Structure 1
Amino acid sequence: MSLPARIGDWFSRQGWKPHPHQLDLFDATDDTLLIAPTGGGKTLAGFLPTLADLLNGPHQGMHTLYVSPLKALTNDIARNLSRPVADLGLNIRIEDRTGDTASSRRARQRVDPPEILLTTPESLALMLSYPEAPKIFGALKRVVIDEIHALAEGKRGDQLMLGLARLRTLSPDLRVSALSATVDDPTALAEYLGGARIVMADPGPAPDIAMLETALPAPWSGGGGRYAAQDVMDEIAAARLTLVFINTRAQAELFFQALWAVNDANLPIGLHHGSLSREVRERVEAAMAAGELRAVVATGSLDLGIDWGDVDLVIQVGAPKNVKRLVQRIGRANHRYNAPSKARIVPANRFEVIECVAALQAVAEGDLDGEGRGPVASRGGLDVLCQQILLTACAGPFDADALFAEFRSAGPYAALNRAQFDDCLDFAATGGYALRAYDRWQRLVERGGLWQLRDPRATRMIRMNIGTINDVETLKVRNRNGGAPLGEVEEGFAASLSPGDTFLIGGKTVRYDRLREMVVEVTPQPSRQPKIAVFNGTKLATSTELSARVLALIGDPQKWDALPGSTRDWLELQREISVLPRPGTLTCESFMRGGRAYFCAYSFAGRNANQTLGLILTRRMEETGLGPLGFVATDYAVLIWSMDLVTDPAPFFTRASLRDGLEDWLGENAVMKRSFRNVATVAGLLQRNLPGQRKSGKQATFSSDIIYDTLRRHDPDHVLLRLTRTEAMRGLVDFGRIEEMLIARPQIVTAMPPHVTPLAAPLMLEAGRVPIQGLGEDRLLEEEAARLMTEAGLAAA
């Protein structure tokens, strides 16, 4: 087929020529997965068949549904799509349907849907729960899913794939086009979509990506990158519009302040991250689109494919942690298909220099990492399935056999068996064995072979609590004896604490006593070093693949030519004094310093896994009388200080020993209860929202803890308890990464160096940061770094 003359003429008037992949999608008669670089016209490719079809005459009802992970993307697409629609003279409506859409418009869309509707997975699930769903979607011809790789990594993707399965039931002839720029495993993603044909676009020119040359070397520790603020400012001044990506919101705030401190020309710079109000974010987005800003400091809130004007430079501050994320961010520069994207990376510390070099090599080789759940690495979440059963019942009675078949047609649930489905159905209907006596969870009944809501009035409550995103709660930390709050910590961090653990907040060491009514109660411990030396909350962990590249780079001196001279000297001295971590080995070090024993395990398992490893190892060391005092965890290693040396760590690293230690640790803290609350909320057992109000974190925790304890006593094999364990192991605990490390590095190599080693010194600085505060912090850290590096045999440079 060829494009209709009116569309071909429109391309010519823009001075464009259709790309081959755009024509491929236009000709497609099957479901497709388009993988094309940023600026390659993916969105237009997805909508070309729609525009051509609507040129043939009016369509009764909704023709095309566009689904994206971000509400901001729907606004951007509506703006960009309105231009060709107007130029082609199409008399159609393009509307959005998100949480920001006015209630009057949402009500009208249920009886008079637009030809093109732009929405999110949550809003689609809500629309499918209405009895009018067959009328709304019965005439649907096309579904366009944008940024599919971002959705496929979590439960929102499971929710969307179940929604897509329902759409196929309502409109069997619809065609799906999924769009993505960065995919590590196209075949797996195509399977995730239920079987789609892959269309690979020409990747375009290779990106212009390198490490930013800085006047000062990266510091030995820390993660903020503020040492390079002036260098970054110089790059901003030389570019039209720069996106500065930073991995965390707190670091983004600090780096934004550091940039303003050296912004002598007073260039307009914005800040954009998820903790800012919607109004502030929208002002920044509008200023970017209008070309009124020279730079924006952002977190992942700008990762996805919004066309933000004339961005010509991306700067990544801090190691990217994930090659796929780095490629996605690079694509924000030069939003044009035939021009290379320009990006510069700023490592935050000396260890990150190695990670950045490894990431650059991976980008050059086109080796994307598939971190996280992966599109089909694990089956779809059963808590999402439970929610979908309840939403299906809201739309009307259903046949269990037909619904089971429909769910199995969704890619993530292709391996779903009938026993799992029946468990979920029983839970949705009665709450399960231990809860069926409670009237509030008697929600479904079977009448005449069809399942339906026991009380139709329950639809309001079910719809109000739709979704798979659990908000991150922050908890106040308060002295047990009263007084003003000392600060706040993330709920996930609080859940990992056991009574007696000490940590740092507001520059002070405190002992965790208990969690009472959503307040972390502590006792000051001014004379003690904190056990958990540096509180960073739950952070992005370096991907397994990138960690493996870093380990291979460190362990092979023949590859060191790619590293800066100072980094090569650092590793060379490590080889002379101790041993180099290498693939296939778990390298450990034990040494004395200042009357204390230090033990370091270079696991390369990621920050969250190493945090868990530190907690388990200190328990085991306590049991064997080694007197552990505290630890610090990074992406690459865990450093523990104690009264006595660890001479034989092998017994600590058996899978059985670590498993037992995990079980003991989990029994003493709230990790499992926190995970249960998340699972139970998604599954529909707990309500986040009540009519006229939102349930507080305190209320949710109180009720979920009671239910959790009840199920553990009376129904330990309950489907939600099984899901809870999986969730905890994959989330904050990240125990799977520890087990993967033991399999990948079965040989334990232990070195007993005479003093602190070059690789351990930066970890010592992380621990040394704890008691240092005030204006002299940077200078004190520099002095401590100089002392440690001299002690390790390498002058600080």
Structure 2
Amino acid sequence: MADTAAPALPQPIADWFAARGWAPRRHQHDLLRAARDGKHALLVAPTGAGKTLAGFLPSLAALAETPGEGLHTLYVSPLKALAVDVQRNLLVPIEEMGLPIRVETRSGDTPSNRKKRQRQRPPHILLTTPESLSLLISYADSAALFADLKTVIIDEVHAFATQKRGDLLNLSMARLQQLAPGLRRVALSATVADPAAYARWLAPNGDDSSVRIIKGDPGADAEVSILLPEGRVPWSGHSGSYATEQVMGIIAAHKTTLIFCNTRGLAELIFQQLWKVNDDELPIGIHHGSLSREARRKVESAMARGALRGLVATASLDLGVDWGDVDCVVQMGAPKGASRLLQRIGRSNHRLDEPSKAILVPGNRFEYLEARAALDAVAERELDADIFRPGSLDVLAQHIMACACAGPFEEAAMLAEIRSAAPYRGLPSAEFARELDYIASGGYALRAYDRYKRLASRVDEDGQTIWRVSHPRFETQHRLNAGIIVDAPILDVRFKNGRKLGTVEEHFGATLSPGDTFFFAGLSLEVLGVKDTDLTVRASSRPARIPTYGGARMPLTTHLADRVRAFLNNPAEWEAFPEDVEQWLRVQSEKSVLPKPGELLVETFPHEDRHFMVAYSFEGWNAHQSLGMLVTRRMETAGLGPIGFVANDYSFATYSLERVRDPGPLFSPDILEDEFVDWVQGSHLLKRAFREVAVIGGLVERQHPGKRKTGKQVTFSTDLIYDVLRRYEPDHLLLKAAWADARTKLTDVGRLASLLDRAAQTMVHVDLPRVSPLAVPVLILIGREHVAQGSVDDALLIEAEALAETAMKSA
């Protein structure tokens, strides 16, 4: 019979709990029991349940009994801010318990002298990120550093397990398991829909029976509401900025409010709009990933002290940061996923037994339906499914190089180690051989150049192939350039005195001239000049632009899309909607149809001397952008004279000179075999994807000792190599990796293929005399880029109302 007795805690820890009138929760006991039994563990528990303390409790207990020296526990988080916050919140209990345990952080922000000292005299507990862990593994002394490692704790595992950072972390854990065979793995999350899938990801060598899944008790139900404007739910937009004054009122009515935005540009916009109506001059701040480390830390410290009433933030603060005084969360625009919303809600009242409070501010009518869908999903505790895929080849190349920097390795042993990592469990021997050949020569087309010959091999007396780094300079090169996050080319924003405010993307910087102004870090900044990678500015009081940032948009999850579809076909639900939203759906059902779940509704109609086709496929912006491009190419071939297309998360619309009489042939699955391949190869998408994999895979360096390449230099290098490989080695390993990225991350080809496979059987074509109500939100996007800066909202509002009047009128 299983031992269910609560494991005994060392006296200092037991006394600490007792002094606060607390007792360890069941799941905290379960993690202690898993440690005692030598089991790996996955803890799924709601925010505020003490997950982080639960993860550390076995380590604190072990170190309280036998402090010793050396690195005992490694904590890995997806965000630097989270590691810093955990250190702050972990040090207090350790000090109060009187335990002689040293805790430190290590990330890209850590000074180099401290990094060196940490390898020579490591703390008992080290808090780090996947990238910094990979760099630690690359040193010759890593075997000694990790020899006595007992536990790896992965916080917020859902945030990166299915991505390239998860590939890198899993490979790093495989290496750690070789260096410390008794190592235990522990993963923590509040938002995991399929714990068994994560247990398989966590398990070494595919043995998921070695992972104990522990579920925490459910917490109090969240209090989630939708903020409706004083007028009507807008037809267009996605920022929720129409509700600025109401949001300022929410800030005034609470101790501390977190205002989440889905993009950095939107965060800057919302901050400026809030500041304009902040008549009481309440202290509010802004936090996103492009701000300097000093700016972020200053804001984080102010939040920890309770010195801010409001903080506008992006995904940079989605995860785990524990600020107990946050008593309300506001989501500007639709959340795009139930799991993401639940994660953000959890930042409010970070305690299990008290309900979190959140307010959603939808940007338009479809986003209202999406907000309702997310609200219902949270109430029913239904999360979005995560999709695991095979590990990326560029990440594998980087990891192999890291291992080689630490010392020579034997080929067969390295393959076995890599296959013990979940994402690479099925790696074929031939693919591994190609990886080694690529790192050793650059591949067939590049093997004449010494700069790509990073590895060399020999056969030992036992007939085993041994690999080593071919020259010490490649070790330096690797450590300078390693990393998985490949940002767009950037410029440093600096005052004349050299103080750095953060970064903007180079493509935005290229639009600026001396005298121009833009908002950044909550300030209006005037451009003084651009030199090399520095954008020099000074403070200004003049009106300013909002920076634009590239990168993939947050996709609407399939789960939420299905819920929105269900709303469209359940008129009984409409009575609970705002009157204008209910009327919108009723008039649509009278004038056209509402698509049933699984159906693809395609509407065609004339408007202002053009012919429009709108497809309501609910597959997300990325998939719709891709399909819009492909369909217009096919329309061109058919002689329909396409002029352009626009897309949102719910639909895409084409406009053309000729009428589309039969949309069926435009949506046939062979579009992915013909137009898709031609389009991707001829567009910037594959070059953009190749730039990322070339940097991650070590083919192109971003930095040299003492100097950073400009974005233009990196792009020039990768474009040149891309053209060479396309011509002379089209099956090159990195071109294969780039194709994989372009198909998934950039074009969402999986959702695209699913849509096209069912299009013929599920398409409902309705030919209308004029624009339909359901089409208004997407049609408003046409011409948005031509609206003058500063008058965008007013111009769009006027245009939307005119178009809506046409769509809704009875005659």
What residue number does 1:513 align with?
Answer: none
Matched, 1:596 2:605: no
Q: Distance in 1 between matches of 2:638 and 2:347?
A: 53
Correspondence 1:185-204 to 2 at 5 A: 185-194=194-203, 195=208, 196-204=211-219
1:491 is displaced (CA, Å) by: 6.5
Correspondence 1:781-792 to 2 at 5 A: 781-792=796-807
Q: 2:394 aligns with which of 368, 376, 383?
A: 383
> Secondary structure in 1 aligned to 2:660?
coil
1:774 is displaced (CA, Å) by: 6.1
Matched, 1:685 2:694: no
> Secondary structure in 2 aligned to 1:339?
coil
Q: Distance in 1 between matches of 2:473 and 2:798?
A: 67
What residue number does 1:573 align with?
Answer: 587
Match of 2:54, as an amino acid? A
Q: 1:345 aligns with which of 341, 344, 360?
A: 360
What residue number does 1:62 align with?
Answer: 71
Match of 1:20, as an amino acid? R
* CA shift digits 1:158-204 (9 cap, x unpaired): 11111111111011111121111111211111111123211100021
Matched, 1:43 2:64: no
Match of 1:367, as an amino acid? E
What residue number does 1:613 align with?
Answer: 627
* CA shift digits 1:119-138 (9 cap, x unpaired): 11111111111111111010
1:673 is displaced (CA, Å) by: 1.4
Match of 1:10, as an amino acid? W
Q: Distance in 1 between matches of 2:377 and 2:737?
A: 35
* CA shift digits 1:57-88 (9 cap, x unpaired): 33231111111111222221222221222223
* CA shift digits 1:636-678 (9 cap, x unpaired): 1111111111110111101113432222322332221121121
Q: Distance in 2 between matches of 1:251 and 1:60?
A: 47
Q: 2:309 aligns with which of 294, 315, 325?
A: 294
What residue number does 1:451 align with?
Answer: 467
1:739 is displaced (CA, Å) by: 1.0
Correspondence 1:718-737 to 2 at 5 A: 718-737=732-751
What residue number does 1:432 align with?
Answer: 443
What residue number does 2:24 align with?
Answer: 18
1:113 is displaced (CA, Å) by: 1.4
Correspondence 1:100-119 to 2 at 5 A: 100-119=109-128
Structure 1 residues 389 and 577: CA distance shift in structure 2, 3 A: same
1:635 is displaced (CA, Å) by: 0.8
Q: 1:173 aligns with which of 182, 195, 217?
A: 182
What residue number does 1:222 align with?
Answer: 237
Q: Distance in 2 between matches of 1:124 and 1:777?
A: 45
> Secondary structure in 2 aligned to 1:359?
helix
Q: Distance in 2 between matches of 1:582 and 1:474?
A: 45
What residue number does 2:453 align with?
Answer: 442
* CA shift digits 1:507-538 (9 cap, x unpaired): xxxxxxxxxxx99xxxxxxxxxxxxxx99874
* CA shift digits 1:386-441 (9 cap, x unpaired): 11111111111111111111111112222222222122122122222222222222
What residue number does 1:479 align with?
Answer: none
> Secondary structure in 1 aligned to 2:326?
coil
What residue number does 2:652 align with?
Answer: 638
Count of aligned pairs between the two proteins: 744
Q: Distance in 1 between matches of 2:505 and 2:618?
A: 26
Q: Distance in 1 between matches of 2:622 and 2:254?
A: 37
Q: Is the 8 A contact 1:223 1:318 kept in 2?
A: yes
Q: Is the 8 A contact 2:265 2:549 kept in 1?
A: no
Structure 1 residues 451 and 701: CA distance shift in structure 2, 3 A: same
Q: Is the 8 A contact 1:285 1:308 kept in 2?
A: no
> Secondary structure in 1 aligned to 2:644?
strand
Q: Distance in 2 between matches of 1:204 and 1:646?
A: 53
Match of 2:577, as an amino acid? L
Correspondence 1:334-483 to 2 at 5 A: 334-370=349-385, 374=387, 377-447=388-458, 448=460, 449=464, 450-473=466-489
Match of 1:148, as an amino acid? V
1:243 is displaced (CA, Å) by: 0.6
> Secondary structure in 2 aligned to 1:287?
helix
Structure 1 residues 254 and 58: CA distance shift in structure 2, 3 A: closer
Q: Distance in 1 between matches of 2:351 and 2:791?
A: 46
Q: Is the 8 A contact 1:60 1:139 kept in 2?
A: no
Task: Structure 1: give runs of 5+ residues left out of the alignment.
Answer: 476-487, 495-505, 507-517, 520-533
What residue number does 2:256 align with?
Answer: 241
Task: Structure 2: give runs of 5+ residues left out of the alignment.
Answer: 1-6, 492-503, 511-517, 519-531, 534-547
Q: Distance in 2 between matches of 1:432 and 1:172?
A: 35
TM-score with structure 1 setting the length: 0.90
* CA shift digits 1:540-588 (9 cap, x unpaired): 1211221122122213434434433321211111111112122222111
* CA shift digits 1:697-756 (9 cap, x unpaired): 222222222222222222222211111111111122222221122235542111111111
Matched, 1:278 2:284: no
Over the aligned positions, Cα root-mean-square deviation in angstroms equals 2.4
Matched, 1:669 2:678: no
> Secondary structure in 2 aligned to 1:152?
coil
Out of 76-85 and 754-763, give the one that drifted further. Answer: 76-85
Structure 1 residues 157 and 328: CA distance shift in structure 2, 3 A: same
1:786 is displaced (CA, Å) by: 2.9
Q: Distance in 2 between matches of 1:77 and 1:782?
A: 45
Q: Is the 8 A contact 2:488 2:550 kept in 1?
A: no
Q: Is the 8 A contact 1:570 1:794 kept in 2?
A: no
Structure 1 residues 217 and 644: CA distance shift in structure 2, 3 A: same
Correspondence 1:712-723 to 2 at 5 A: 712-723=726-737
Out of 318-327 and 768-777, give the one that drifted further. Answer: 768-777
